[in-house]
Amino acid sequence: MAGRNGFDPELFFSALADRTRLRLLNLMRGGEVCVCFFAEALGTNNPKISRHLAYLKRASLVASRRDGKWMHYRISEPIDPDAKAVFDSTMKLLENDPVMNEDREKLKAVCCAPSGLVAITPRG
């Protein structure tokens, strides 16, 4: 149930309680990512990615924008200050996870991005 500022703690913590959703957030930590790269970077299927992105969007943890036929997703930090502190700590914790680091390397390879660039837009 939504509390102060429309914040729903149950939805927030449920969103963070899933490994796939954490992996998606981890991939977006450097900026906006085109949805077309998530499935390949995580080695899973598009319907699963779409379900998890929709869940993160309902929890107000990601925002999206359309560019032609492509959807781009980025992190949308919680407005609630206590939730933001938990979210920031969670993202910090993911920095030391070997699977999360491997995912980011895969994203760089899939996206053909220059070193250090994670935010991707479609070419041509």
CATH number for the 8-111 domain, one of 3.40.50.300, 3.20.20.70, 1.10.10.10, 1.10.1380.10? 1.10.10.10
pLDDT band at 120 (very low <50, low <70, confident <90, very high): very low
pTM for the whole thing? Answer: 0.84
Task: Inform me whether the pLDDT recorded for 75 exceeds 50.
Answer: yes
**What's the confidence (pLDDT) of residue 121?**
41
**What's the confidence (pLDDT) of residue 7?**
87
What are 2-27's pLDDT values in tens digits?
Answer: 555 678 999 999 999 999 999 999 99
How many Cα neighbours within 13 Å face the side chain of 10? Answer: 3
- What percent of the chain stands above pLDDT 90? 69
What are 84-106's pLDDT values in tens digits?
Answer: 999 999 999 999 999 999 999 99
Q: Where are the beta strands (DSSP E) in the chain?
A: 33-34, 62-67, 70-75
Q: Which 3-state string (H, E, C) describes the chain?
A: CCCHHHCCHHHHHHHHCCHHHHHHHHHCCCCCEEHHHHHHHHCCCHHHHHHHHHHHHHCCCEEEEEECCEEEEEECCCCCHHHHHHHHHHHHHHCCCHHHHHHHHHHHHHHCCCCCCCCCCCCC
What are the extents of the domains in the chain?
Answer: 8-111
